[in-house]
Amino acid sequence: MVLKTIMGNKLFQGLAAGLIGAVLALTLFLPGWLARWEAKTWDWRVSTLARPADTTNKIRVILLDQRSLDWGKDENALSWPWPREVYGAVIDFCRRAGARVVAFDVLFTEPSKYGVSDDQLLADAMRAMPVVGTVFLSRNTGSEKRWPHFAPAPAVTISGLDEWLTKTRYQSYARASFPVPEIAAAANILANVQMRPDADNVYRRVALLEVFDGKVTPALGLAGYLAAHPETKMTIQPGKLTIGDKTIPLDDQGQAILNFRGPTGTHKAYSAASVIQSALLLAEGQKPVIAAEEFKDAFVFFGFSAPGLYDLRPTPVAGVYPGVEVFATMLDNVLAGDFLKPTPQAVTIVLTLLLALLAGLFSSWATGIARSAFVYMVFLLLPVALCFAAYRIGFWLPLLVQETAVAVTLVGAGLLYYTTEGRQKAYIKNAFKQYLSPDVIEELIAHPERLKLGGERKTLSVFFSDLEGFTSLSEGLDPEELTNLLNIYLSAMTDILHEEGGTVDKYEGDAIIAFWNAPLEQPDHAVRCVRAALKCQRKLAQMRPKFYQRLNKNLNMRIGINTGQAVVGNMGSHSRFDYTMIGDAVNLAARLEGINKQFGTYTMISQATREQTAGAFPAREISRVAVVGRREPVVVYEPLLPEEITAEKQHVLDIFARALKLFYDGDFSQAKNLFAGIAAQDAAAKAYVQKCAELLARPPADWRGVWVATQK
């Protein structure tokens, strides 16, 4: 009953429901089973939140629409395909208007039916200003398997490309379709216009560059930028492409998530017919249909939007969207440097777990229809709000996995609350599993009367541990990193303590306090305690390289162990208490942990513990120490792992033992010489060299062979 009052059975049911909801949602999310539906929620966010940027007005789109086709046929007797000199008129208008570059989303792969002279007229117009031509890359179609001699090789160089190709899942293209030689040779740069849709055939991502015949081919949108900024330097690494001072996040196939600006027409568009008419009027010195100032310093894209020309694609902002506007959006994102970023999977997992647990927690608080409805409404809307906020700051945060976790949690919590009231056994296990060993928990379940105030005097083996220099190390870590590191370390150490039947008294930052022989009787409690200490040191040694990568410094742990009488039991108030211990034996264990510093050791046990272990572990005597707060000195030992005692180590131990006897006898000079001979291999010997030097400089009046500790 006390535990129910402290923890609350309904709270645990809520958290359990949250954990179940999170696990189920992540089980569906991680293999990609929610991807298709997640894409639909993304389209909803994009269509709702897409907005123009400052760079949007720098882009113009010329569309060969149905009106243009009708105008060409009705007023100029132009059948499809049009003569290519018509496109030359478009270029001429853009040149006269002061446009920066013209990018054609048009494939001129076949000679003009109007003859070679028609191709030449377009080529001549292209040479008058920066014009981006097009190629179409493919896995299995296209006439070219090598970059043709008549086409200018791309002048695009990207640092890190070879390494990126080996570290990602990207595959180069094997075939390509190129413009006819006259047009290919006249282009300022050739760009790829092939795009890869998502699995549901919606275009949400773009590849800014592709590789064909070992040469980098930029996509049309990026090529427009490069044609205007030919000196731009680019670097590619797994996960990102750097263009000048802009960094673009990439997936492992080299694609970036487009940041759409709005529905079709968001980038100011003009009918090709109006542009051609304006070009003819300008050539005759007359006022054009479109003011030339509209195109001043603009990036211009030319593409198709007429239904019969088959370049309409589904996107998140529109089911029918001209392909050329996708490339315009790409350039817009390049100029603004605001391609959307995928949220790291680890963040999604943690956020999903957190939301589910919070939903379970608050559902345990909600009683009555009004509160329950409020909690349901808040937590079902919270993932939506988070995902909309993430979009605003430039991230694609998965929505469906969070929504699934919350929904399952809320439904599961409701079912749990109505189908079970919980039992004392489950309650005790949930309350104490974090700091008691399984045997202790079973003892409490068998004897719940122990859960009351009071204590008993028992002989305990007490364990104190602390990380060396962790305070200074932690100052260089942010709270999340610090918490994660501590959780990893404390979890590993606690598992060992529980494995040896120990009871974790408490954690104090990075320090662990534990004891053996209570509440269960353990005749071999000292052996268990020392064995746990040696296992902890071995485990930390295994973990040390990973910690070094994060901290740039080795992580070491000091342990102090003592065996003696202490009072152990439930201590605290009637409403809150801990199963803990107090007494002089406990204080001595804490002192021994700190005394390790003076000898350069990392595990130290008292003589009482040494006697209780009855030679179960090799150990060497370190000193007779007078610790702070105690009158009588205590003999302390360093337990050793059997595998550590090599022939060389044994030689060092033998010399140390002889030197220690000389030290006890007051022969500091001879002791110093012996300690100095092994100081390079043994930290304790090094400490004794300094201590002997101090005693030689100031000989003690009454020497009893005791090292007086000056620090706790």
Helix (H, G, I), strand (E, B) or coil at 334: helix
Cβ–Cβ under 8 Å, residues 111 and 151: no
- pLDDT on residue 348: 95
| Dist. CA 195–CA 211, nearest whole Å | 13
Structure tokens at 64: 């060969």
Q: Report the relative pairing of strands 577-582 and 205-207 from DSSP bridges.
A: unpaired
Cβ–Cβ under 8 Å, residues 505 and 581: yes
| Dist. CA 7–CA 566, nearest whole Å | 28
Taking residues 352-381, report their average pLDDT.
84
- pLDDT on residue 421: 43
Look at 10 and 430; give whichever has higher pLDDT: 10
pTM: 0.58
Q: Is the model's pLDDT at 412 over the cut of 90?
A: no
Beta bridge partners of 578: 571
- pLDDT on residue 577: 65
Structure tokens at 111: 């000679």
Cβ atoms < 10 Å from Cβ of 172: 13
Q: What is the DSSP string of 145-213?
A: SS--TTSPPP---EETHHHHHHHS----B-EEE---HHHHHH-SEEEE------TTS---EEESEEEET
Cβ–Cβ under 8 Å, residues 144 and 206: no
- pLDDT on residue 46: 96
Cβ–Cβ under 8 Å, residues 14 and 363: yes
Helix (H, G, I), strand (E, B) or coil at 437: coil
CA dist list (Å): 465 to 395, 506, 682: 43, 11, 22
Query: Which residues 6+ apart lie within 8 Å of 225 measured at CB?
Result: 232, 243, 299, 331, 334, 335
Which CATH superfamily groups domain 436-642?
Nucleotide cyclase, GGDEF domain (3.30.70.1230)
Q: Is the model's pLDDT at 363 over the cut of 90?
A: no
Beta bridge partners of 103: 132, 301
| Dist. CA 22–CA 10, nearest whole Å | 18
Cβ–Cβ under 8 Å, residues 334 and 248: yes
Rg (CA), the chain: 38
Least reliable range by pLDDT among 86-95, 121-130, 182-191, 281-290: 281-290
> Average pLDDT over the chain, rounded to whole?
89
- pLDDT on residue 579: 77
Residues recorded for the chain? 712
Q: Is the model's pLDDT at 425 over the cut of 60?
A: no
Cβ–Cβ under 8 Å, residues 206 and 256: yes
HSE of 544 in the Cβ direction (CA atoms, 13 Å)? 14
Amino acid (one-letter) located at 145: K
Structure tokens at 461: 């083996």
Structure tokens at 291: 């003011």
- pLDDT on residue 12: 78
- pLDDT on residue 653: 95
The DSSP code for 343 is P
Cβ–Cβ under 8 Å, residues 90 and 102: yes
- pLDDT on residue 56: 96
| Site of tokens 């296209």 | 142
- pLDDT on residue 1: 41
Helix (H, G, I), strand (E, B) or coil at 602: coil
Taking residues 527-532, report their average pLDDT.
96
Cβ–Cβ under 8 Å, residues 336 and 54: yes
Q: Is the model's pLDDT at 165 over the cut of 60?
A: yes
Amino acid (one-letter) located at 289: V
| Dist. CA 623–CA 330, nearest whole Å | 73
Least reliable range by pLDDT among 106-115, 405-414, 690-699: 405-414
Q: Is the model's pLDDT at 449 over the cut of 70?
A: no
Cβ–Cβ under 8 Å, residues 197 and 313: yes
Helix (H, G, I), strand (E, B) or coil at 73: helix
Q: Is the model's pLDDT at 609 over the cut of 70?
A: yes
Structure tokens at 417: 């609350």
Q: Which of 343, 334, 409, 310 is nearest to 80 (CA)?
A: 310
Structure tokens at 436: 């008691």
| Dist. CA 40–CA 387, nearest whole Å | 13
Structure tokens at 538: 């071995």
Look at 252 and 577; give whichever has higher pLDDT: 252
Give the CA-trace dihedral at 26, 27, 29, 33, to 10 degrees: -160
Q: Which of 641, 536, 617, 630 is nearest to 589 (CA)?
A: 630
Look at 441 and 478; give whichever has higher pLDDT: 478
- pLDDT on residue 487: 92
Look at 308 and 177; give whichever has higher pLDDT: 177
Domain ranges of the chain: 4-40+347-422, 54-337, 436-642, 646-712
Percent of the chain whose predicted confidence (pLDDT) is above 70: 92
Cβ–Cβ under 8 Å, residues 423 and 9: no
Structure tokens at 393: 């700051």
Structure tokens at 698: 């100031």
Q: Which helix (H) or strand (E) holds 209?
A: strand 209-212
CA dist list (Å): 217 to 181, 188, 401: 18, 13, 37
CA angle 382, 384, 389 (to 5 degrees): 95
